[in-house]
Chain A
Amino acid sequence: MADVTFTVDGKKLTAPAGTLLIDACKAVGIEIPAFCYYPGLSLQAACRMCVVRIEKMPKLQTACTTTVAEGMVVQTETDEIKQARKATIELLLGNHPLDCPVCDAGGECELQDMTFKYGAAESKYVEIKQHREEQQWSPVVFFDRPRCILCYRCVRVCGEGMDVWALGIQNRGVSAVIAPNGQDHLECEECGMCIDICPVGALTSGTYRYKTRPWEMTHVATICTHCGDGCKTTLGTRRSNDGMEIVRGDNRDKSGINGDFLCIKGRYAFDFANRTERLTKPLVRQADGQFKEASWSEAIDFAAKRLREIRESKGGQAIGVIGSNRTTNEENYLLQKFARTVLGTNNIDHHRTVDYVSFAAALAGKSERTASLRDTANAPAILLLGNDPTEQHPALAWNLRSNVRLNRARIYIANHAEIKLRRQAKQFLEIPKDGYASLVQYLAGNDSVVAANEQTAAFRDAIRKEESLLIIFGSEFRGRDIQALVEFGLSLPNTKFVLLGDYANSRGAADMGLLPDTLPGYVPVASAAHFADEYGAVLPQNAGLDLLQMFDAAQSGNLAALYVVGSNPVTRYGVDPAVLKNTFVIVQDMFLTETAQLADVVFPAANLYEKAGTVTNTYGDIQLVKKAADKAGVRSDFELIVRLADRMGADLKKLVPFGRGVRADMGQTRGAQSGEADRHSVWLAAHGLEPKLSPFDPFATLDEIQRLVPSYSFSRLELLAGSDQHAKSELVQISAAPARRDLVLPSQDTLFTSGTLGRYSDKLKEVLDSHTTPKPVEAAAD
């Protein structure tokens, strides 16, 4: 739109016509206060805080509903306006309890800030304030009615943003009140957006309630460990008896890839880290079959000795390695390097939630064809095939909804279920569960494969008319189907693709070569020359055993050792525990999972919130993970792999290229805690290594990843500054996907589950229980 020129507080400004005055002012640093206005939501003009004086207009005008016009002359801070705002606050405070010392929002409350700015601390009103008891609406949402200032932000974000419509306004005038849809409780997606957006402490979080105060916490912005969207979550931590405890998760600075959004898992499901049954000491199985706690050096020595014996007696092919979907890229990379150089085996795999290899092969050499999560919020047209983003990719669902609402994006959905996003879809096509491949053929022009009718024809025509299309698809597509879909997409003028995988670093695990047949960057194991040069070792040339083959080999007695890092394949794949009875099993995990219970050595590992590194979300956005929490007794997977390699006699300088390239550090840059730096320096001194360069520094490994994996050649500076970097799929050195078994096993997680990890979150369990056993409605909200 054409630009208009106007004057605010004597400054000449220019903004596109149609811009709201409040936004135009904010863009140049003139802050106009507002409670009810929230960017991206519908306009309310309920709070009257944003009033400004516009020349030639009678009375003060609300800046949040006024669009800028040519020649407009605006005053934003005059005595008259100050007085008006002060009076507004005085009215708001008329029935607002002054319990700021107790209120959870105290210290980050917009009403508090405004009162400090405009005064009105003394009130002219002498009426008694009406008290109402606090209500619990769900395990995670509490409502304190007198604190509410009726800005309607929660109502709008729940309805427009989440498409849940669980909050409404009942009664009128002074007795108007926010009411939940279940009369006395909420029936919703429990995303907590209403709490996040509440300018006061009316809606408060069930996990953070009355625990501490905002300024008492250390806030660390890191990446959520749950689904594949990779949202930024800001963890508030407090020193506790055994490290740093996470007290709160929220979306404080809104600077992340997820913008305003955070779902229940990013916001509340961090409590697994504080569980009492968390392992903090290594366990070694004794001759009598019982676990016994051991010291770190004993346990590592024991595990390394056995691995070494097996490698020397039976060779690397008798050892299997299973990686994790939730460890960092550096750990995944190091794990495959450890397997391939130290153990000498290609028997390495992880729980595959989608077929990233075929996706990479289909897009090899094509530049600018993968989309970031950010692109889903502004693509003009989107084709969603399979998956249910509302349940499995909440941030994507949020972006799609916002895109439709704010940019009138056109969404075409084909799914075998009536997913909730169909309400935003321009066209929705219900297809049989196995009908995805034939649908793609149909879209490509083959009429005979589906029962074509008017609806399918309209669907196809609409998609083919789009000038720019973003195709998002889920695990329903594998192998050749992905190839066919990408070919169809490339036949359209301007297409980008997204493949939806399930966990925080599922994409990273595949990218980093936790696969029996590909090295990092999807390089086939047979053409590993430059890796061998860099590693200074001979790499096995034949593809190794995949995950199921490993268990088959264990059953037939051909797998002597299995090294499992942060994964629970026994439950996930329904493995019979007897299979592993003759296999030496090492497990690194937070809890004694079903797999860990079968292990011979268990190392207590740190989770993603307790380490630094990078992760890649399913869109290929690489983001920095920062250490937020700390737990005495646990070690990061990175450290454990390095120590194991060391005790096996590997050359650490070859395994982790520390001391080369970018200077490593003792953890200063990533917030070392609780004597971590000391621990490292003692260990290093004991081993005669340079005390200033640590083999435990993931960034040394990131250097190597960036040298060897071209698609990860992003700007390190931007990454460290907290920006997300998109992997360059055109640089993937893969020509054709190797013929391989389809081992994809979608996690089928919902909003309230998160694989094995989710079972250890009390909050998720509580929410899940409350949703499966709805409580009876007792009384209507008054």
Chain B
Amino acid sequence: MSIVRNIAAISKGMSITFKEMFQPTEVENYPDGPGPTRGAVLQDRFRGAHVLQRDENGLEKCVACFLCAAACPSNCIYIEAAENTAENRISSSERYAKVYNIDYNRCIFCGYCVEACPTDAITHGHGFELASLNATNLVMRKEDMLVPAVGMPGELAAHSDSVK
């Protein structure tokens, strides 16, 4: 009886194997795949490198409230605030972030900063290719993280010091 039971078990197992052989492949062809992600498929909720957002007028959403830095468990966010003037308007509010650095040596991608942000300025992008041979390259500046002002209302974008 044990022989019959063994054959039954094997055939049941192999039937799944053979069935799967004819299904389409699930392997991602990264990094040789098509598209900007080079084949990597990322879920919407994936927490990658941060992106600093702009509002509908092309102004930075960040008002330098420091709540992300306060929420950060690994203390990797550094901000210097400054006041907007009529001639040099960076954000829609009175204050803007003159310096906004994230140290990716320390960031654990927990998403608390995104959670804390009252203006939805900081979000997780899908950037994941952060590896570097030099640790100093891993400190990202505001300019590295801001979404480009391209396609935003021209005048305001031109005044932003974030566009290089």
Touch A–B, Cβ below 8 Å: yes
Contact surface of A with B, Cβ cutoff 8 Å: 99-102, 106, 134, 209-213, 215-216
Asked whether, in the complex, the Cβ of B94 is within 8 Å of the Cβ of A213, the reply is no
Scan B60-98; emit 1 where CB is below 8 A from any A CB, else 0: 000111110110000000001111000000000111000
* Distance of B108 from chain A, by nearest CB (Å): 21
Task: A211 to B64: give the CA distance in the assembly, Å.
Answer: 9
Q: How far is the CA of A215 from the CA of B75 in the complex (A)?
A: 13
Distance (Å) between the CB of A216 and the closest chain B CB?
Answer: 5
List 6 interface pairs A-B (beta carbons < 8 Å), by A numbering.
A99-B93, A100-B118, A101-B67, A102-B63, A213-B65, A215-B66
Q: When the two chains form their complex, are residues A210 and B65 in contact, meaning their CB atoms are under 8 A apart? A: no
A101-B118, A101-B119 known; A213-B93 Cβ under 8 A: no
Bound: A210/B67 CA distance, A: 14
Please state if B83 and A102 are interface contacts (CB–CB under 8 Å): no
Shortest CB-to-CB span from A781 to chain B, Å, is 20
Say yes or no: B66 contacts A102, CB within 8 Å. Answer: no
**A210 smallest CB distance to B (angstroms):** 4
Q: Is there contact, CB below 8 Å, between A216 and B66?
A: yes
Contacts of B118 in A (CB 8 A): 100-101
Chain A residues with CB under 8 Å of B82's CB are 210-211
Chain B min CB distance to A170 (Å): 25
Counting residue pairs across A and B whose Cβ atoms lie within 8 Å, the total is: 37
- How far apart are A171's CB and chain B's nearest CB, in angstroms? 25
Shortest distance in angstroms between B80's beta carbon and chain A's nearest beta carbon? 8
* Contact of B65 (CB < 8 Å), options: A102, A209, A211: A102
Known: A101-B118, A101-B119. A210 touches B66 (CB 8 A): no
CA of A102 to CA of B82, assembled, Å:
11
Task: Point out the residue from A101, A134, A211, A215 that lies within 8 Å of B63, measured CB to CB.
Answer: A101
Encode contact with A along B29-70: 1 for CB under 8 Å, 0 otherwise.
Answer: 000000000000000000000000000000000011111011
Complex: chain B residue closest to A216, CB-CB: B66
Q: Give bound CA distance, A224 to B33, whole Å.
A: 66
CB within 8 Å for A213 and B66 given contacts A99-B93, A101-B118, A134-B94: yes
Contact A106 B81 (CB under 8 A): no
Cα distance A667–B101 when bound, in Å? 31
Q: A209 and B119 in contact (CB under 8 A), knowing A102-B95, A134-B94? A: no
- In the complex, the chain B residue whose C-beta lies closest to that of A212 is B81
The minimal Cβ–Cβ distance linking B124 to chain A, given in whole angstroms, is 20
Q: Which residues of B contact A106 (CB under 8 A)?
A: 65
State how many angstroms separate the Cβ of B38 from the closest Cβ of chain A: 37
Per CB-CB distance, the 9 closest pairs between chain A and chain B, nearest first, are: A101-B65, A210-B95, A210-B83, A213-B66, A101-B118, A102-B93, A102-B63, A102-B95, A102-B94
Query: From B93, which residue of chain A is reached at the shortest CB distance?
Result: A102
**0 or 1 for each of B113-145: is its CB under 8 Å from A? (1 = yes):** 000001100000000000000000000000000
Chain A minimum-CB-distance residue to B118 = A101
Contact between chains at B70 and A215 (CB < 8 Å): yes
* Inter-subunit contact B63/A212 (CB<8 Å): no
**CA of A100 to CA of B94, assembled, Å:** 12
Residues of B within 8 A of A (CB): 63-67, 69-70, 80-83, 93-95, 118-119
Highest count of chain B CB atoms <10 Å: which of A101, A209, A212, A213: A101
Q: How far is the CA of A101 from the CA of B65 in the complex (A)?
A: 5
**Which B residues are CB-close (under 8 A) to A210?**
64, 81-83, 94-95
How far, in angstroms, from A106 to B118 measured CA to CA in the complex? 13
A216 touches B69 (CB 8 A): yes
A554 → B minimal CB distance (Å): 48
A99's nearest neighbour on chain B, judged by CB, is B93
Bound CA span A209–B96, Å: 12
Q: Complex: how many Å from CA A211 to CA B82?
A: 6
In angstroms, how far is the closest chain A Cβ from the Cβ of B122?
Answer: 12
Instruction: Tell me the bound Cα distance from A106 to B81 in angstroms.
Output: 14
Evaluate contact between A211 and B81: CB separation under 8 angstroms: yes
Contact B83 A209 (CB under 8 A): yes
Question: How near does chain B come to A434, taking the closest CB pair, in angstroms?
Answer: 52
| Contact status B83-A212, CB under 8 Å | no
Q: Are B66 and A212 in contact (CB under 8 A)?
A: yes
Q: Which interface residue of B67, B69, B82, B94 has the most chain A CB atoms within 10 A?
A: B94
Interface centre among B63, B70, B95 (most CB of A within 10 A): B95
A210 to B79, CA, bound (A): 12
Q: Which residues of A contact B69 (CB under 8 A)?
A: 216
Q: How far is the CB of B91 from chain A (nearest CB, A)?
A: 9
For A101, what are the chain B residues with a Cβ–Cβ distance below 8 Å?
63, 65, 67, 93, 118-119
Query: What are the residues of chain A within 8 A of B63 when measuring CB–CB?
Result: 101-102
Question: 11 more A-B contacts (CB under 8 A) besides A99-B93, A106-B65, A216-B69?
Answer: A100-B65, A101-B63, A101-B65, A101-B93, A102-B65, A210-B64, A210-B81, A210-B82, A211-B81, A213-B70, A215-B66
Closest chain B residue to A204, Cβ basis? B94
Closest to B84 in A: A210
- Min Cβ gap B88→A in Å is 13
Cα(A100)–Cα(B63), bound, Å: 11
Chain B nearest CB, measured from A687 CB (Å):
35
B66 CB contacts on chain A under 8 angstroms: 212-213, 215-216
Chain B residues, CB < 8 A from A213: 65-66, 70, 81
State in angstroms the CA–CA spacing of A215 and B72 once bound together. 13
For A213, give the chain B residue with the smallest CB separation. B66
A211, B66: Cα distance in complex, Å:
11
Contact residues in B for A134 (Cβ distance below 8 Å): 94
A209 CA to B81 CA in the complex, in Å? 10
With the chains together, A350 CA to B94 CA distance in Å? 47
CA distance A450 to B65 in the complex (A): 65
**B94: chain A residues within 8 A (beta carbon):** 102, 134, 210
Provide the bound-state CA to CA distance between A101 and B97, in Å.
12
* In the complex, chain B residues whose CB is within 8 Å of the CB of A211: 81-82
Which residues of B are found within 8 Å of A102, using beta-carbon distances?
63, 65, 93-95
Shortest distance between the CB of A389 and any CB in chain B (Å): 36
- What distance in Å separates the Cβ of B133 from its nearest Cβ neighbour in chain A? 27
CB distance from B107 to the nearest CB of A (A): 19
Among B65, B82, B83, residue most surrounded by chain A Cβ atoms (within 10 Å): B65
How far is A213 from B77 in the complex, measured between Cα atoms in Å?
Answer: 14
> Which residues on A sit within 8 Å (CB–CB) of B83?
209-210
Interface centre among A100, A106, A210, A215 (most CB of B within 10 A): A210
In the bound complex, what is the Cα–Cα distance between A242 and B94 (angstroms)? 27
User: Nearest chain B CB to A108's CB is how many angstroms away?
Assistant: 13
A241 → chain B closest CB, angstroms: 10
> Considering the chains assembled together, what is the distance between the CA atoms of A100 and B95 in angstroms?
12
Q: How far is the CA of A101 from the CA of B91 in the complex (A)?
A: 13
Alpha-carbon gap, A17 to B122, bound state (A): 57
CA distance A216 to B70 in the complex (A): 8
Please measure, in the bound complex, the distance between the C-alpha atom of A754 and the C-alpha atom of B12, giving whole angstroms.
Answer: 93
Residues in A neighbouring B93, C-beta threshold 8 A:
99, 101-102
Complex Cα gap A102–B91 (Å): 11
**Chain A hits for B95, CB < 8 A:** 102, 210
**Bound Cα distance from A100 to B80, whole angstroms:** 18
- What residue in chain B is nearest A215 (Cβ atoms)? B70
Give the interface centre of A99, A102, A209, A215 by most chain B CB atoms within 10 Å. A102
Instruction: Report the separation of the CA atoms of residues A566 and B64 in the bound assembly, to the nearest whole angstrom.
Output: 39
Bound Cα distance A750, B118 (Å):
45
CA gap between A209 and B63 in the complex, in Å = 13
A212 to B70, CA, bound (A): 12
Minimum CB–CB distance for A140 against chain B, Å:
15
Nearest-neighbour CB distance to chain A for B118, whole angstroms, equals 4
Rounded to whole Å, the gap between the CB of B117 and the closest CB of chain A is 9
Least distance between B137 CB and chain A CB atoms (Å): 20
Q: Smallest distance from the beta carbon of B21 to chain A beta carbons, Å?
A: 56
Residue of A nearest to B119 (CB): A101
Measured between alpha carbons, how far is A106 from B70 in the docked complex, in Å? 13
Complex Cα gap A106–B95 (Å) = 13
Closest beta carbon of chain B to A768's beta carbon, Å: 23
Measured between beta carbons, the chain A residues less than 8 angstroms from B119 are 101
Q: In the assembly, what is the distance between CA of A106 and CA of B93, in Å?
A: 14
Closest CB of chain A to B37's CB: distance in Å?
A: 33
Question: CA–CA, A99 to B118, complex, Å?
Answer: 10
CB distance from A586 to the nearest CB of B (A): 38
